[in-house]
Structure 1
Amino acid sequence: MSESLDDERARIREQKKRELQERLETGGNLDDVESDSTGTPTEPIHVDGPDHFSEVVTTHDVVLVDFRADWCGPCQMLEPTIEALAAESDAAVATVDIDAHQGLAQQHGVRGVPTLVLYANGEPAERTSGVQDRATLDRLIGQYT
């Protein structure tokens, strides 16, 4: 299992290297917020509070929010998938540390981690708990993009 996680991380790193190289070759700035041509971030957005959360879910048409905790084993297992979805899907991907933002987690009915909530047009559309595979999350996002 850890070998597949390592392979996934290596693939994501290689993709990021290619993106950075392309940006350098075209005169882009490495300090710019990374996003694709549609303006969707290519890395998970780390939510830093309720106002930021609201901004993220209203700014992007489709947002997959990962309510997680650093101490959570299943959350750590899901992390490479979350990073890959941010890099490759048409949805914005956000993460919320439930320990740092307990009120936000409570407000959104998070009772266990990981909890994934898909927002479409600023409204919660789907919710799932536990580790999900990439194909399941791709299908979920695909219903709204």
Structure 2
Amino acid sequence: MSTGTLELTKDNFDEVVSGNDFVLIDFWASWCGPCRSFAPVYEAAAERHPDLVFSKVDTEAQQELAAAFEIQSIPTLMIVRDRTVIFSQPGALPEAALEDVIGQARALDMDEVRRQVEAEEAAASESPGSGAESGSGSSAGSAA
């Protein structure tokens, strides 16, 4: 893959995220000043880490994707490893902070992350404090 960033759309998102082990996503918009100042930092990191997929989501053109990830402010940087979101934070990061986040994301034990996600999902499904037992299995309104 060439250096630089890949434009993500609703049409290629699943393919890119499921087809790559480590994807960084910059949610941005052209009118956003902090987004424009973060862009060269992000591009430089993409050139320093050619083994990772650096991508961008234009939140104006891809409103469905932004809504799906509940993006409230931009820029927001998200890192997905093995189809699991391991980092999501709004704000333009300085170069050193971005490098630190990438280093920490590389160092994560993904088996441990998966165990934590499974434990959190199991705990959420037990819904403590709800004394009513419902056998219907219907959980309307339990959007994550």
Q: Is the structural similarity TM-score above 0.5?
A: yes
Q: Residue 122 of structure 1 corresponds to which residue in structure 2?
A: 83
Q: Deviations over 1:40-70 (max 9, x none)?
A: x4110011x2231111112221111000000
Counterpart CA distance in 2 for 1:86 and 1:98 is 20
Query: What SS is found at the alignment partner of 1:144?
Result: helix
Which residue in 2 is equivalent to 1:141? 102
Unaligned runs of 5+ in 1: 1-34, 36-40
- The equivalent of 2:29 in structure 1 is 69
- Alignment RMSD (CA, Å): 1.2
TM-score (norm 2): 0.69
* 1:66-125: CA deviation from partner (whole Å, max 9, x where unpaired): 000000000000010111111111421100000001011000110111011111111110
Q: Which one has the largest radius of gyration?
A: 2
CA contact (8 A) 1:68 1:75 kept: yes
Runs of 4+ deviating beyond 2 Å: none
Q: Give TM-score, length-normalised by structure 1.
A: 0.68
Distance 1:104 1:138 in 2: 25
Alignment gaps of 5+ in structure 2 = 107-144
Specify the code of the residue in structure 2 equivalent to 1:56.
Answer: V
- Equivalent residues of 1:91, 1:141 under 8 A apart: no
Are 2:74 and 1:113 equivalent residues in the alignment? yes
Equivalent residue, structure 2, for 1:96: 57
Specify the SS of the correspondent of 2:61. Answer: coil
Contact persistence 1:69–1:97 (CA under 8 A)? yes
Q: Is the Cα–Cα contact under 8 Å of residues 65 and 96 in structure 1 kept in the other structure?
A: yes
Which residue number in structure 1 is paired with residue 111 of structure 2? Answer: none
Higher mean alpha-carbon deviation, 65-74 vs 83-92, is at 83-92
Who is 2:40 aligned against? 80
% of aligned pairs identical? 35
Which amino acid counterpart does residue 118 of structure 1 have in structure 2? Answer: I
**What amino acid sits opposite 2:94 in the alignment?**
D
**How many residue pairs get matched?**
105
